[in-house]
Amino acid sequence: MRVDAGLAAEQFSNLKNVGEAATPNFTGRSASFACGAVARVSLHIDDAQRIDDAKFKVAGCTVLVAALSVLTEQVKNKTTAEAAVLAEDLETIESGLGPEAADRGDCVLLASEALLEAIRAYSDSARDQWDGDDALICTCFGVSERTIENEIQTKHLNSIASVTRACNAGAGCRSCYPLIEEILEEVNGK
Ligand code: FES
């Protein structure tokens, strides 16, 4: 394992959340062919879509371990949507790890990808199990197919980014992107 003295001293003495989240849980993995690091995040999520347990396992450098420790701690008690927004803010994660992580964006990205994968696994599962009247498209923000169709029609939207701006669908883990794309094509007749 690559060791960075400053991080090792500060983050390793406070290392949190190593292990496996309470079951049933949702897991995400990431890996780097360049350095061989592997990360795994598991999340236990309550009925209100809030993360009540987050844990990680890792084989990798100090910065990756520290990033996973910090990220899993930060997402506890957050909704999956809030956690996804946090995971995508790589600059803030990196700066929170101190100067030793300044040029180690790839390590921070690996931690972020593992967390986002776990959130996507939850979103896909929740979407599949949804039994409401309107099909649920964006689990993170609870946006239905009908809402997205209405937004596209009334505001003449033609991109995922414009749909996200209009109704928040896609602003979290992005697992709904392919579905939003399909609705765009259907409504706009492409
Ligand atoms: S399901 Fe996560 S952003 Fe839509």
Q: How confident is the model at residue 11 (pLDDT cuts 50, 70, 90)?
A: low
For residue 118, report the distance from its CA to the centre of ligand 1, in Å. Answer: 12
The reply to whether ligand 1 has any atom less than 6 angstroms from the CB of 176 is: yes
**With 50 as the cut, is the pLDDT of residue 8 above it?**
no
Helix (H) or strand (E) holding 109: helix 105-129
Q: Residue 9: its pLDDT value, please?
A: 52
**Ligand 1 atom having least distance to the Cα of 119:** 2
> pLDDT of 128-181, one tens digit each?
999 988 999 999 999 999 999 999 999 999 999 999 999 999 999 999 999 999
* 184-189 contact pairs (CB < 8 A, 24+): 184/152, 184/157, 184/158, 184/159, 184/160, 187/149, 187/152, 187/153, 188/152, 188/158
Domains and CATH numbers, the chain: 5-121 (3.90.1010.10), 130-188 (1.10.10.1100)
**With 60 as the cut, is the pLDDT of residue 48 above it?**
yes
For residue 82, report the distance from its CA to the centre of ligand 1, in Å. Answer: 11
